[in-house]
Amino acid sequence: MLDNLLPTDPEVAARVDALDLSFNKFGVDPYGIAKKDLVRSMSVFAWFYRHYFKVDVYGLENVPPRGRAILVGNHSGGVAIDGAMVTGSMLLDAETPRLAHAMLDKFIHHFPGASRLMSRTGQFTGNPEQAMRLLRDDRLLLVFPEGARGTAKLAKDADSLVTFGTGFMRLALETKSPIIPFGFVGGGEALPTVANLKSLGRLLGVPYIPVTKWGLLVPKPTRFQLLYGKPMIFEGSGHERDEVCGAMVEEVRTKIRDLIRQGRQLREKNITEADLVL
Amino acid sequence: MRVLVTGVAGTLGRIVAMRLVERGYDVIGIDRRPWPGAPESIEMYEHDIRKRTAEDVFRARRPQAAIHMATVTHLVHKSPDRMRVNLYGTRAFIQHCQKYDVKQAIFVGRHTYYGAAADSPLYHTEDEPPMSAHTFPELADLVAADLYASSALWRYPEITTCVLRIVYTLGPSKHGTLASYLKGSTVPVVMGFDPLIHFIHEEDAAEAIVTALSRKLHGVYNVSGPSPVPISTIVRAVGGRPVPVPATLISLGLSRLALPNLPPAAIDHLKYPIVVDSDAFKRATDYQHRYDERETIDAFRAAR
């Protein structure tokens, strides 16, 4: 395999070592996360995270260093670069490194290569049973309640929010997990999508094919702003009526909108870090 | 206590029967295949479970407990009577248990019941329905047999019925679905996919069945051993070389070259994991597997 030839980053290896995971005699945790594959893939990713892109992360201290929690934020940009950057910040920047388990769209595990990589790094197709199990095991979940409709926002709408699903809130209530809202800014600049080809996408088994200003699906080097807000804790059973649950979701959505607004202000240098209210 | 074991001449059947003898049970074995060299203490009958002669054994010998292992589980087995063996055999087993006052019945099923799919969660629990029986006709009869056996739980409440869904077995016998897949020095895998495989040492699987018997387990239980391992890692650990074959080639029907014995739907089992949660079984019985993932693979490798 080609990935065997890539160098590993000793700092990444040390951070993977510090993860709160128990690996068996083959270096695999009960969810199939392979230490070796995690170090290799994150070593490559770390270069992109630190040099090709640049992520200004604020409020990392708001993410609990251990125990169950759900990171909930916005999609910004035609593909989920935001998800990769959030995962990166948790593993590479957080004081206590954590592995975020993203809840993926169904199509990803249908693709050769992608399926293998995602399986070995703890990234599963999002479904309630999987999410519930990970939270009960005190893992960190990463959820984009906008789903594929969120990545489908065109560049001009990158800072806006489409409607949120309520699944994450019911999970949080049922497992008593804190929600850590985050806002992500800059995805629209990295990958300025001007159109989405839905029929071609369907043909290829993906929700759509994004088309950027320069045609190709190659992001340009960009600086991102990623802001983690204070944990939000909601009380309930997870079996509330839709109106009740919807009101709680709206509270999270409002918070995320505010984090995006502050991130945009920072990006345009209208405010400084000292002005942030996370 | 008298225990009747169907499918006793199979690999797992033999190990279970020997263990039962060691624990002081009187063992009656039924199998349409012979078991040359079977211990004398085991009362052997060479019958087909679906035939009257097998029923006669139930009638004459009146076992207090019965374990059903006479199912065809190999994915490669495509004989036309496979469905009949699995489904009618299971029905005959349950009905004989009811008719001849057997107190305890154990159906030994497989974890493949749950099916393999891109979007199914890791760690299936017993309450989940079989999600992909329709995509895999070669397994549909096993799923049906499992559900039929489970129906005895409400149909015949007087029988303590237990359905076990056991993960792939592996060990020195070199028999079983996973063992035959791993047999060659090069093992085809699906390019770009590397599913977790859940397996258990065959001795541990046998011990789990004996435990279900001695603890008088009632209900449906998953049985697993160590945590699952990616397929490519297993292939290398047994000394083989994984050869990636593109899925498109396989689905185009060229699989005959690479995977001569696998039905087309089996490809999902080489792309996606089937992993089960066996906490309920462990809680109910205090069962603990003896062989970890390395020891299980080494036991198979040493015999290879």
State the CATH number of the domain containing residue A95.
3.40.1130
At residue A201, the pLDDT reads 87
At residue B158, the pLDDT reads 96
Per-residue tokens: A162? 């489409």
- Averaged over B277-302, what is the pLDDT? 96
d(CA A62, CA A60): 5
**What is the average pLDDT score of chain B?**
91
When scoring A116, A130, A135, A171 by the number of chain B Cβ atoms within 10 A, the one with the most, hence best to mutate, is A116
Report DSSP letters for A152-164, one per residue.
Answer: TS-GGGTTS--PP
At residue B75, the pLDDT reads 59
Q: Which stretches of chain A drop beneath a pLDDT of 50?
A: 1
- Averaged over B253-259, what is the pLDDT? 53
pLDDT at B264 over 70: no
pLDDT at B252 over 80: no
- Averaged over B150-178, what is the pLDDT? 95
**Among all residues of chain A, which has the CA nearest to that of B294?**
A25
Give the CA radius of gyration of chain A: 18
d(CA A210, CA A193): 6
pLDDT digits (tens, 9 = 90+) for B168-208: 999 999 988 899 889 888 988 999 999 999 999 999 999 99
Q: Which of A144, A264, A150, A132 is nearest to A207 (CA)?
A: A150
- Find the chain A residues whose C-beta atoms sit closer than 8 A to any C-beta of B: 24-26, 28-32, 34, 106, 109-116, 119-120, 124-125, 127, 129-130, 133
Cβ <8 Å between A130 and B196: no
Angle between helices B11-22 and B202-214 (to 10 degrees): 50
pLDDT at B254 over 60: no
Contact (CB, 8 A) for B208 and B104? no
**ipTM, two decimals:** 0.89
* pLDDT-based confidence at residue B248 (cuts at 50, 70, 90): confident
Residue A26: helix, strand or coil by DSSP?
A: coil
d(CA A43, CA A46): 5
Chain B residues with CB inside 8 Å of A110's CB? 118
* Fold entry, domain B2-175+199-225+275-290: Rossmann fold (3.40.50)
pLDDT digits (tens, 9 = 90+) for B95-104: 999 999 999 9
* Phi-psi group of B142: left, alpha or beta (phi > 0 → left; psi -120 to 50 → alpha; rest → beta): alpha
Q: Which domain range does residue A40 map to?
A: 2-275
> Nearest Cβ partner of B226 from A24, A32, A112?
A24
At residue B257, the pLDDT reads 52
pLDDT at B229 over 60: yes
At residue B246, the pLDDT reads 87
> Nearest Cβ partner of B233 from A26, A30, A115?
A26
At residue B80, the pLDDT reads 66
Chain B residues with CB inside 8 Å of A127's CB? 119-121
- Residue A61's identity, in one-letter code, is E
At residue A23, the pLDDT reads 95
E strands, chain B, in order? 2-6, 26-30, 43-45, 65-68, 104-110, 160-166, 168-170, 186-190, 196-197, 199-201, 219-223, 229-230, 241-245
d(CA B22, CA A192): 72
Contact (CB, 8 A) for B86 and B143? no
Size of interface A-B (CB pairs under 8 A): 76
Cβ <8 Å between A31 and B122: yes
d(CA B274, CA B115): 7
Chain A residues with CB inside 8 Å of B125's CB? 129
* Cα of A113 to nearest chain B Cα, Å: 4
Which residue's structure tokens are 């080639």?
Answer: B249
At residue A60, the pLDDT reads 97
At residue B136, the pLDDT reads 77
Residue A230: helix, strand or coil by DSSP?
A: coil
At residue B48, the pLDDT reads 93
Number of structural domains chain A divides into: 1
At residue A132, the pLDDT reads 96
* Phi-psi group of A69: left, alpha or beta (phi > 0 → left; psi -120 to 50 → alpha; rest → beta): beta
Which residue's structure tokens are 């960190």?
Answer: A140
> Nearest Cβ partner of A125 from B118, B190, B237?
B118
At residue B17, the pLDDT reads 97
At residue A101, the pLDDT reads 97
Cβ <8 Å between B192 and A119: no
Contact (CB, 8 A) for B13 and B7? yes
Cβ <8 Å between A113 and B271: no
Please report the sign of the dihedral spanned by the C-alpha atoms of residue A193, residue A196, residue A197, residue A201: positive
pLDDT at B61 over 70: yes
